[in-house]
Structures are given as C-alpha cells and as structure tokens.
Amino acid sequence: MACMHLLALAAAATARRVPARGGFVAAAPRVRTTPLRRPRTTKAVALAAIPTIALYESSAQLINDAGCTAGAAAGAVAWIKVWTTLAERGVIDAKLARKIVHCGSGPLYLLVWRFYSDAALARVIAALVPALNIVKLQKAAQDDNELSRAISRSGDPSEVLGGPYVYTWVLLLAALLAFRTPAAIVAVAQMAVGDGLADIIGRRFGRQKWFCNPEKSYAGSLAFVLGATVASMGLLRWLAFPAPLAPLVAISVICALVEVLLTDVDDNVSVPLVGALLALTLR
C-alpha cells in the first residue's frame, strides 16, 4: 500500500492548486494515516489513480496520458522479456542481460514522458508505471519466477528487493517530484546508463583497478562518464531542454567518482541523488 499512499497524496496535493473553469478543484479527501500493508495485487495501485482521474479537466488529456502509461508499462514488460528470453536460451550471458535491462529501463521510460499532456496531474498518471513495477517486484521477491531470476544477481528472489527495487523507487520519485525536469533526466541517465555501463565494461576490460576501491576499474569509470554524458544529452534534447556538453561531462565525472568512493551506499541511491542535485545548476 506504500505506492497507493504516495500516489494518493500526490494527487491530493496537486488538486489543491490546479485551477478549473470558474474556480478551483476541490481537494481530494484526506488519506488515512493508519498502518499500511503491502499491496497484494496490481489492482490496488490502479485504485490509487481514481482521485487523479476524477480531477482531470479534459477527457482528451486523460485518454492521452492513460495511453502513454499503458504503452510505457507494456514496453517495460517487453524490454525485460526480450533479454530474459535471450539469457534463458543461452544467447547472452545472464549477468550481461541483467545489466542491459538496467541500462535501458530508465531511459526508455523517460522517452515516453515527451508524449504526456501538460495537465498538472500527468505526473501522477506517469508514476503508475514504476508504481506497478514496484508491486511486481514485491511479488517476485516472494517466490522463484522468471522476473526474480532475470534481475537478481544469484537468482535468489530476496535480492529483488535490493538494487532493482531501489532503482524502481527512484523512477517513481523522479516522476512525482521532478516530472520532465533536467534534474530527473540527468539523475536517471547517471543511475541507469552510467552505472550500468560501468559494470558491463568493467567486467570485460577492467584489469586496472582503482587504488581506493579494488572492485571498481578505470575502464568502468570511463565507460560511466561517456555513457552517462551521451544519455543525458540525448534525453535532455529529446525533452526539449538545453544539453551543454561541459557541465554534463563534469556531472558524469563526479557521479562516477561517487560510485567509486561511496562504497557503503547503494549506487542506485547515491548516484541519482548527486546527479539530480548537480543538474539543478544547469542553465
């Protein structure tokens, strides 16, 4: 129910400031503060969108945004399915498949942001995509299935609630708190592409390790900087923002160093957080 609670709060907060014809939209009912339980089905998350749907002024905008969310959700399922199938058939190494999913999931989600309407509540509808994935991950952590085998390092279902779970929460918060802003775009690009490529290249070519962290390599960090910079520039331009090269390179370098130095913090937390804060300086 954590996702429901968060989405309902976002809808209620936005409703208080959305102008309507002839006045203002009434605030959504207060959300109960009683202890929340983990959702059992994806229907629970869908129900959280009802207050948001009711507050849309234009049915055309609602249909457009709902279509974008449906397409993004279907695309996320297809993206994972392609790589898990290739891994199961032995076409590609399972670890490589997992990192490719890591690299592509965030940017593919951001590509769809361009097609949402300008409605103030579009961010809440967009946030349903990672919210539903959070519910799926919670289910996958309970038993051995295709999803848990695809995204956990050892195949242990409990690992799903580690890095992949945090990754999906970052996407949810990016949509709710910084929808279609440079901060969200850069944060996701650093976390997904930068961190993902660092692992892929580091495993294959990372013979020379960092003097301060023997688990990270210079080759991996270089791949981080190059990949994160290109991804940030591409996504910023796709969403009609300026994409200055020098500041983006600097942000990528700092985020790569954060990955190397902050060994006690999950990369899926430290890297996007630093990336988002630094992106606030972009002009």
Q: What is the pLDDT of residues 35-56, one digit of tens each?
A: 444 445 556 655 655 665 667 8
Please name every residue paired with 19 in a beta bridge, in sequence order, or none if there are none: 24
Residue 155 and residue 185 in one domain: no
121, 147, 180 — which closes off a domain? 180
Count the domains in the chain. Answer: 2
Residue 139: per-residue pLDDT: 82
Residue 113 and residue 212 in one domain: no
Residue 128 and residue 256 in one domain: no
Does residue 158 surpass a pLDDT of 80? Answer: no
Alpha-carbon distance of 283 to 148, in angstroms, equals 41
180, 200, 230 — which closes off a domain? 180
Residue 234: per-residue pLDDT: 98
Residue 225 and residue 154 in one domain: no
In the chain the first and final C-alpha atoms are separated, in Å, by: 38
pLDDT digits (tens, 9 = 90+) for 52-72: 566 787 789 999 999 999 999
Residue 198 and residue 163 in one domain: no
**Are 201 and 219 in contact, with CB atoms under 8 Å apart?**
yes
Residue 262 and residue 125 in one domain: no
Residue 274 and residue 256 in one domain: yes
Residue 282 or 144, more confident = 282
Residue 16: per-residue pLDDT: 40
Contacts of residue 158, Cβ cutoff 8 Å, sequence gap at least 6: 141, 152
148, 180, 212 — which closes off a domain? 180
Residue 172 and residue 195 in one domain: no
Alpha-carbon distance of 150 to 79, in angstroms, equals 12
Length of the chain: 283
Least confident of 93-102, 191-200, 217-226: 93-102
Residue 157 and residue 227 in one domain: no
Mean pLDDT in residue range 93-106: 93
Residues of the domain holding 206 = 181-283
Average pLDDT, the chain: 83
Residue 243 and residue 175 in one domain: no
Residue 175 and residue 219 in one domain: no
Residue 1 and residue 105 in one domain: yes
Most confident of 30-39, 89-98, 132-141: 89-98
Q: Can you give 237-264 as a three-state secondary structure string?
A: HHCCCCCCHHHHHHHHHHHHHHHHHCCC
Least confident of 80-84, 115-119, 146-150, 279-283: 146-150
Residue 150: per-residue pLDDT: 58
209 membership: H or E segment, kind and range: strand 209-210
